């Protein structure tokens, strides 16, 4: 059943931009560590490749200059660090050094196996002097043992026997990537991780490094296993450890080196050097094969819960699976970490976490692996104190405001109009908690963890908005669209704030009699008056609506601005943010990304289908999709509005964004939110899935280019497998008790299996009931 799980390129391209692209596409990660795919043997001298590896949320702090020192602007910023490089392996055949850029590459391939959780590079190479070898290099970031990264390096001499020298390195002298020309990357070359100790102990090398300002330590430990005994020694110089070995290779008899690297940081461990030693011992206590089996086991469970399939388009099917796989590679699985827009495949956006998590990525986990969703919420719960400080910096006396971008919870957004001003992140976090609760209905968790976040974030709406002429307004914030900053009554923001306040009040009323709830109320000093105010604000919430156009204006003044026709902009001027002054962009009706349509997606009951349809048509024409957060939602809403062919076109862009490098910046890292977006597009879009308080809803359709598709949903105690084709929709209860499902407005009970004829139900139901939403 687990088919189409291998992504492979052959031959391996050697152009600089493609090498960088593949560094990201073939990176290995497990949510804790991430290692870009750098050639072990390195690159030609003078080229600017930067071997990179990260620990999720392992960061330093560096000074951020503001051109004018206004109050509250950030002066320091957190940044994920490039940690010690354990990738290097130099292979010397007598006096010739193996390199993809010299001699002759006869055959080569790079392969990601998403069932096994490994990448494999195969190279058949002839040296300038004619020695031919075959290399098979297998890399794994272990899901079984998170600190562990392995490289299995197998050499087969094809036409000779003779001396092989191998130098395997462990290098503490690392820098962070920078690009002064792209505001989305760090602009300064930074040496932030300082090696303090480089040592050999019990056959392993240890490099202990300290950050310059965040007071963190990381220790990496590298050990080796050889397939046959041979001479070897360790050398240490300038914070770089070398493991040198010499062997006599025999033609046809492969020689194998296994390189184990473990990474432990002081965020998670009191003594990370000691922990690194323990982790290395643990890793070495198993055979590599055992570690590989554990990897398969973990992924087998993952795919079992998160299986997706598109029938009738193998390429899109593979891309979708690739995207889903990257989510499990990228997501942090402890309370210190979250999931960044680039996952662990690059340090674009400096490893910060954004609302991408709650609005795009978390829904995938909520309905497939809710435990991970819970862990993501616990990350936010743990950063409540910092979100409170942030609210105070922003001038508020009550409540919390989550930072727009952060690692530890401290605001790291340098340009506040497109950063801290995006108060809607509070709504996204609340929305994710509400959705998680729908999925698991864990009341005890809600009261002990979720509600504190719900209430504290809700308070901020009261602090931010104000009543004016009988309406509750939220002025001077920025909505999702970063091409229109600092506006009044952003429709999306007001809509999600209303939803948020409604649920906060509803739950307050509901849990009155619960003792733990009363404890929480006392702890956060929440009063009845505040709840009344929540209710009033929600009731009177102003949601901009334009009668003439029958659309929801993005904000109070959006429609009075000049329209900027996308067709009139030369192609080389995209993304606009790299080519136009922000003020010029803000002055126009032009969108970087989905905004009002996002509100229609998550809160569809607010407006009539006609308004939603009109809004879609209106905003589509002025949306540049300069953000990767945009097209997936346009895809979902096209599918829901029965524009299936349009939805399919969007989907093709969304699902292939990274594998086809459509944004031209995948080299800086994959786009995790868009990847999750491709999953949402299938499930929330084509399958018309909704999870509401009342249960699960589906309105499936299938693009004509496909035969059908499949996916799985975890809901309460159940796991449901869904299979859709052009004529029918089949639900299988793989686990748990029976559930009610509403398909095109008609409710069914799923016990073991449920088959619904699509054509029939669509016709009968749709006729009666135009306003399903």
- The residues that touch a copy of itself, with contacts defined as CB under 8 A, are 64-74, 77, 180-183, 187, 393-396, 414-418, 420-421, 464, 466, 468-469, 473, 475-477, 485-486, 488, 556-557, 559-562, 577-587
Least distance in angstroms from the C-beta of 621 to a copy of itself: 17
CB 489 within 8 A of CB 556: yes
Choice between 465 and 700, CB closer to a copy of itself: 465
Choice between 563 and 692, CB closer to a copy of itself: 563
Choice between 454 and 577, CB closer to a copy of itself: 577
The tally of CA atoms less than 13 A away on the side-chain side of residue 262 is 25
Choice between 180 and 203, CB closer to a copy of itself: 180
| Opening angle at CA 662, ends 660 and 668, nearest 5 | 90
Taking the C-alpha atoms of residue 4 and residue 226, their distance in angstroms, rounded to an integer, is 33
Least distance in angstroms from the C-beta of 352 to a copy of itself: 12
Choice between 183 and 252, CB closer to a copy of itself: 183
Taking the C-alpha atoms of residue 214 and residue 55, their distance in angstroms, rounded to an integer, is 15
Least distance in angstroms from the C-beta of 181 to a copy of itself: 8
What SS3 state is found at 367? helix
Buried b (16+ CB within 10 A) or exposed e, 680-704: bbbbbbbbbbbbeeeebbbbbbbbe
Taking the C-alpha atoms of residue 435 and residue 25, their distance in angstroms, rounded to an integer, is 31
Of the residues 41, 78, 449, 482, which is catalytic? 482
Choice between 257 and 485, CB closer to a copy of itself: 485
Choice between 287 and 476, CB closer to a copy of itself: 476
CB 317 within 8 A of CB 305: no
Least distance in angstroms from the C-beta of 592 to a copy of itself: 12
| Opening angle at CA 510, ends 505 and 512, nearest 5 | 100
The tally of CA atoms less than 13 A away on the side-chain side of residue 377 is 27
CB 683 within 8 A of CB 366: no
CB 713 within 8 A of CB 367: yes
Give the largest Cα separation in the chain, rounded: 89
DSSP calls for 610-643: HHHHHHHHHHHTTB---STTSHHHHHHHHHHTT-
Report CA-CA distances (Å) from 182 to 445, 482, 578, 725. 42, 16, 8, 44
Choice between 144 and 618, CB closer to a copy of itself: 618
Taking the C-alpha atoms of residue 448 and residue 438, their distance in angstroms, rounded to an integer, is 16
Taking the C-alpha atoms of residue 55 and residue 30, their distance in angstroms, rounded to an integer, is 10
The encoded tokens of residue 463 equal 């602090």
What element of type H or E holds 271? none
Q: What is the DSSP letter of 560?
A: G
Taking the C-alpha atoms of residue 39 and residue 19, their distance in angstroms, rounded to an integer, is 9
Our answer to whether residue 482 is catalytic in this structure is yes
Taking the C-alpha atoms of residue 209 and residue 752, their distance in angstroms, rounded to an integer, is 56
Taking the C-alpha atoms of residue 536 and residue 541, their distance in angstroms, rounded to an integer, is 8
What element of type H or E holds 566? none
Least distance in angstroms from the C-beta of 586 to a copy of itself: 5
Least distance in angstroms from the C-beta of 572 to a copy of itself: 14
Least distance in angstroms from the C-beta of 393 to a copy of itself: 6
Q: What is the DSSP letter of 551?
A: B
Choice between 290 and 467, CB closer to a copy of itself: 467
| Rg of the chain on CA atoms, in Å | 27
Choice between 230 and 559, CB closer to a copy of itself: 559
Taking the C-alpha atoms of residue 365 and residue 374, their distance in angstroms, rounded to an integer, is 9
CB 697 within 8 A of CB 742: yes
Q: Which residues of 227-306 form beta strands (DSSP E)? A: 231-237, 240-249, 255-265
Report CA-CA distances (Å) from 590 to 490, 493, 713, 744, 765. 14, 18, 37, 35, 38
Choice between 118 and 551, CB closer to a copy of itself: 551
Choice between 357 and 489, CB closer to a copy of itself: 489
DSSP calls for 453-493: HHHHHHHHHHHH-EEETTEEE--SB--S-TTS-SBS--HHH
Q: List, in sequence order, every residue forming a beta bridge with 151; answer none if it has no partner.
A: 139, 259
Least distance in angstroms from the C-beta of 578 to a copy of itself: 6
Q: Which residues are catalytic?
A: 482
């Amino acid at each position: 059943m687990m088919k189409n799980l291998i992504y492979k390129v052959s031959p391996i391209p050697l152009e600089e931009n493609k090498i960088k692209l593949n560094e990201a596409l073939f990176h290995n990660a497990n949510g804790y560590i991430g290692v870009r795919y750098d050639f072990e043997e390195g690159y030609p001298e003078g080229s600017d490749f930067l071997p990179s590896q990260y620990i999720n949320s392992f960061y330093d702090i560096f000074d951020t200059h503001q051109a004018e020192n206004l109050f509250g602007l950030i002066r320091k910023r957190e940044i994920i660090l490039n940690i010690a490089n354990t990738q290097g392996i130099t292979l010397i055949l007598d006096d010739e050094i193996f390199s993809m850029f010299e001699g002759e590459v006869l055959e080569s391939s790079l392969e990601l196996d998403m069932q096994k959780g490994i990448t494999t590079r195969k190279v058949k190479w002839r040296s300038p002097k004619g020695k031919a070898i075959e290399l098979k290099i297998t890399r794994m970031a272990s899901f079984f043992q998170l600190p562990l990264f392995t490289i299995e390096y197998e050499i087969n001499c094809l036409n000779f026997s003779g001396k092989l020298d191998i130098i395997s390195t462990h290098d503490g002298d690392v820098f962070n990537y920078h690009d002064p020309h792209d505001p989305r990357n760090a602009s300064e070359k930074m040496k932030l991780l300082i090696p303090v100790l480089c040592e050999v102990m019990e056959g392993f090398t240890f490099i202990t490094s300290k950050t310059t300002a965040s007071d963190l330590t990381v220790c990496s430990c590298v050990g080796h296993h050889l397939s046959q005994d041979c001479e070897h020694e360790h050398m240490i110089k300038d914070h770089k450890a070398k493991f040198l070995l010499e062997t006599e290779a025999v033609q046809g008899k492969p020689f194998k080196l296994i390189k184990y690297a473990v990474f432990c940081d002081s965020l998670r461990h009191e003594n990370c050097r000691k922990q690194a030693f323990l982790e290395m011992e643990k890793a070495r206590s198993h055979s590599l094969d055992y570690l590989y089996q554990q990897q398969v086991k973990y992924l087998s469970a993952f795919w079992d819960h998160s299986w997706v399939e598109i029938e009738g388009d193998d390429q899109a099917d593979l891309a979708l699976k690739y995207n889903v796989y990257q989510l499990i590679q990228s997501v942090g699985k402890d309370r210190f970490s979250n999931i960044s827009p680039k996952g662990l495949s690059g340090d674009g956006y400096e490893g910060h976490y954004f609302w991408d998590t709650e609005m795009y990525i978390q829904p995938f986990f909520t309905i497939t692996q809710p435990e991970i969703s819970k862990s993501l919420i616990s990350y936010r719960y743990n950063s409540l104190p910092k979100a409170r400080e942030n609210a105070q910096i922003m001038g508020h006396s009550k409540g919390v405001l989550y930072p727009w971008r952060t690692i530890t919870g401290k605001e790291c957004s340098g340009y506040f109009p497109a950063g801290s001003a995006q108060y809607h992140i509070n709504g996204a976090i609340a929305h994710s908690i509400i959705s998680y609760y729908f999925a698991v209905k864990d009341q005890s968790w809600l009261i002990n963890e979720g509600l504190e976040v719900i209430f504290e974030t809700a308070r901020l709406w009261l602090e931010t908005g104000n009543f004016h002429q009988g309406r509750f307004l939220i002025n001077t914030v920025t909505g999702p669209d970063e091409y229109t900053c600092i506006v009044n009554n952003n429709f999306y923001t007001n809509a999600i704030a209303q939803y948020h306040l409604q649920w906060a009040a509803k739950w307050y009323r509901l849990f009155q009699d619960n003792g733990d709830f009363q404890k929480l109320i006392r702890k956060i000093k929440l009063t009845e008056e505040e709840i009344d105010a929540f209710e009033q604000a929600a009731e009177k919430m102003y949601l901009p609506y334009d009668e003439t156009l029958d659309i929801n204006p993005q904000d109070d003044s959006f429609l009075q601005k000049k329209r900027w026709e996308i067709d009139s902009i030369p192609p080389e001027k995209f993304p606009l943010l790299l080519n136009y002054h922000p003020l010029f962009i803000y002055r126009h009706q032009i969108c970087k990304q989905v905004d009002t349509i996002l509100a229609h997606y998550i809160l569809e009951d607010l407006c009539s289908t006609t308004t939603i349809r009109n809004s879609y048509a209106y905003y589509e024409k002025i949306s540049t999709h300069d953000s990767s957060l945009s097209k997936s939602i346009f895809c979902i809403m096209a599918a829901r509005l029965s524009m299936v062919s349009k939805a399919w076109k969007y989907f093709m862009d969304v699902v292939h964004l990274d594998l086809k490098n459509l944004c031209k910046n995948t080299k800086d890292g994959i786009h995790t939110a868009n990847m999750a977006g491709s999953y949402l597009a299938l499930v929330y879009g084509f399958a018309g899935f909704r999870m509401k308080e009342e249960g699960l809803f589906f309105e499936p359709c299938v693009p004509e280019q496909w035969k059908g598709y499949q996916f799985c949903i975890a809901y309460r105690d159940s796991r449901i497998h869904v299979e859709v084709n052009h004529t029918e929709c089949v639900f299988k209860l793989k686990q748990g008790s029976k559930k009610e499902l509403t398909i095109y407005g008609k409710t069914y009970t799923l016990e073991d299996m449920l088959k619904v004829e699509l054509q029939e139900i669509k016709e009968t139901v749709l006729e009666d009931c135009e306003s399903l939403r």
